[in-house]
Amino acid sequence: MRTASTIWGQILLALLSVLAACSSPDQQTSVPTKDPETGEVYTRKRIVVDDSLIRGRVLDRNDSVLVDTRSYFVLKLPRRPPLDTLGLGILLGWDSTTVRQRIAEALPYPGARPSAGVQLRLTATEVKRVRRDSADWPNLALAERRQRVYTSSAGAAVLGYKASEAQGFYRQAQRYRRGRFYRLRNGGVESYYNGLLTGRHGYLHPLLDAKGQQHGTWTKDTTFRQGQDLHLTLDVKLQAYAEKLLGNRRGYLVALDPRTGEILAYVSGPVYDAATLTAPDQAGVRAELLESEDMPLINRPAMLANPPGSVFKLVNAAVALQLGAISPTTGFRCNQSLVSCVHHHPQAKTLTLGLKYSCNPYFYQTMQSLINRMPDTLAVDTVAVRHANLDLWRRYVRSFGLDSVLGVDVPREAPGFLPTAAYYDKARRTRRWTYRSIYSLSIGQGEINLTGLQMANMAAIIANRGWYYPPHLVRSVGDGGPLPRFTEKRYTLIDSAHFAALIPGMVAVMQKGGTADASSLADVGITVAGKTGTVQNDEGDDHAAFVGFAPADNPKIAVAVYLENGGFGATAAAPCAVLVMEKHLRGYIAPKRKRWEKRIQRRAQSGY
Ligand SMILES: [Zn+2]
């Protein structure tokens, strides 16, 4: 049963919370408290320690400021007509075309009515003019705003935005089919690290007697913490360079330092300007981004999972070596009755040659010997053997951070997918499926899906011969380090010797007769290790893929490139990857590749 006093207590509580919500932080809440022992009445106070909170900045790995906060003035136009636009033009020093144009640009979305609220951003000179004549314009209001400013156009997908500044974008996005999806997933580090960037107010909560003497506190004090700066792992120059190589093409490029997991460049194509989603005058551009069939607002490296294609032969080879299904000296015939081979090549007598020529039948047979491999026991049930071996394969492949999120510091990350034996039981409607019906896995096609972050991490794992730090975008918050989980080394289930056995094949890919020999950096003394992929898909041209790292014997950069409907991995994806490697390792591109670079950039601008 409820007593009168508990009800009264609840009313008091409700009243208190209303009071707390209404009062500005620096006001005291003067609710009297009675000490049950002494009977003395105390006053609760709340004192703000410091309220000059400044949002932290975002800097790149070389301390270039990428995002900062600046104040500016806006002129709020009346929500109801009439508006003397002629007079407004004279007030601001704008001609009539400019007035119309600026009002149209300042609408929250194209075609919105002025009653939706128009705020014109003013220069310092314009502010002076408005202040001088403010008496004549009682229905105009000047307001000071703080806004995040982006110093570079690069890095949109990484930087993201402050949610409170994206309200216009959110309203606009609601009008589109995919709008909700975009809205949820574009916040970048501004959203992921929002609490640390914002900081928090500090409050003291003393209990005071009638004479102003303190008698303890009425609730826990909180310490003031200034907004922290974020130091990104990104190199903004490399980022801008990589964005130029992808331009308007659909796909991604992720480059990371395999030694630390630090992401050096993170491109989601088509690229757009970092300020677009929050800039007050960009509603038109936002509408184009929201409408585009190329879906530029999807954060591709984190959110889209694709079949990896032939680059996945590396993972399958490592697992097959670990489980003893093949050895580095195993040879297989290029038997095209099993699966077609795109490349005409000499016999692949070793694993190195299998990788060099990317021979499909070679890897068909590699995985076949893994899936059909009989264990040492006397098991004769081949159905059970296939089930057990596929699940064993999956367990080893999962240790590459696949089929689960890597924990990268982005707002949303897709896990990708690796099929299980149970999955095939259901999909094939029988437990008696054979290797023949799942062999696509051997060449990285079919049901298997990886994100761009997982692809780059896969290259980093091979570069490190078996381990990785989770890829991440922030190397330090304030004066501290990265988030603790980014300093925890993770190991795959595969011995380092087996990774070492893959590298001669990856080096051979970039040499004469290899699938990507045109993308060699041997002329500038850099040995690249890589693997191309050309991924068939039902909806148009093949996707082009490439993963690799350099220098092969002391890797400092690992890169994954994926171009949707881009054609051959060797001709489309590999050149972008090695240009980014060369730029990072040498700082500039050798004259020999300048024409090549120009051609890629032109193609990037045209979008295909
Ligand atoms: Zn072949």
Kindly indicate the confidence band of residue 3, based on its pLDDT and cuts at 50, 70 and 90.
very low
Question: Which of 42, 8, 49 has its CA nearest to residue 25?
Answer: 49
Cα–Cα distance, 115 to 77 (Å, whole number): 9
For ligand 1, the distance from its centroid to the CA atom of residue 362, given in whole angstroms, is 7
pTM: predicted TM-score of the whole model, two decimal places: 0.85
What does the pLDDT look like over 540-569, one tens digit per residue?
Answer: 888 999 999 999 999 999 999 999 988 877
Q: What is the pLDDT of residue 24?
A: 43
How far apart (Å, rounded) are the C-alpha atoms in residues 73 and 254?
Answer: 38
Q: How close is the Cα of 330 to the center of ligand 1, in Å?
A: 14
The pLDDT tens digits of the residues spanning 483-528 come to: 999 999 999 999 999 999 999 999 999 999 898 999 999 999 999 9
Ligand 1 center to residue 455 CA distance, Å? 24
Distance 373 CA to ligand 1 centre (A): 23
How many angstroms separate the alpha carbon of residue 343 from the centre of ligand 1?
6
Contact 460, 255 (CB under 8 A): no
C-alpha 472 – ligand 1 centre gap (Å): 37
Output the CA 331–ligand 1 centroid distance in Å: 11
Distance 344 CA to ligand 1 centre (A): 7
29 band by pLDDT with thresholds 50, 70 and 90: low
Amino acid at 497: A
Rounded CA-CA distance 68/527 in Å is: 40
Each residue's pLDDT tens digit, 266-315: 999 999 999 999 987 888 999 999 999 999 999 999 999 999 999 999 99
How remote is the CA of residue 348 from the centroid of ligand 1, in Å? 7
Residue 275, classified by CB atoms within 10 Å of its CB into exposed (0-12), middle (13-18) or buried (19+), is: buried
- At 22, the pLDDT band (50, 70, 90 cuts) reads very low
Average pLDDT rounded to a whole number, residues 91-100: 91
Give the distance (Å) from ligand 1 centre to CA of residue 426: 32
Confidence of residue 379 (pLDDT cuts 50, 70, 90): low
Asked if 476 and 233 count as a contact pair (C-beta separation under 8 A), the reply is no
CA neighbor of 585 nearest in space, from 561, 560, 549: 549
- Asked if 51 and 26 touch (Cβ cutoff 8 Å), the reply is yes
Residues in the chain, overall count: 608
Q: How close is the Cα of 39 to the center of ligand 1, in Å?
A: 92
What is the CB neighbour count within 10 angstroms for residue 129?
Answer: 15
Structure tokens at 94: 């704008």
Q: How far is the CA of 496 from the centre of ligand 1 (A)?
A: 27
Ligand 1: centre distance to CA 338 (Å): 10
User: 389: CA distance to ligand 1 center in Å?
Assistant: 25
Query: What is the mean predicted confidence (pLDDT) over 73-87?
Result: 84
Distance 379 CA to ligand 1 centre (A): 33
The Cα 338–Cα 316 span in angstroms is 17
Ligand 1 centre to CA of 361 (Å) is: 6
CA–centroid distance, 238 to ligand 1, in Å, is 36
- What pLDDT score was predicted for residue 476? 95
Q: CA 595 to CA 98: how far, in whole Å? A: 42
Give the contacts of 385 (CB within 8 A, at least 6 positions apart). 372, 373, 374, 375, 379
Ligand 1 centroid – CA 444 distance (Å): 15
Q: How far is the CA of 443 from the centre of ligand 1 (A)?
A: 12
As residues whose CB is below 5 A from the ion ligand 1, the structure lists 334, 341, 359
Take residue 285 and report the two structure tokens written for it: 């551009």
CB atoms within 10 A of CB 404: 12
Q: How far does residue 529's CA lie from ligand 1's centre (Å)?
A: 20
Distance 544 CA to ligand 1 centre (A): 19
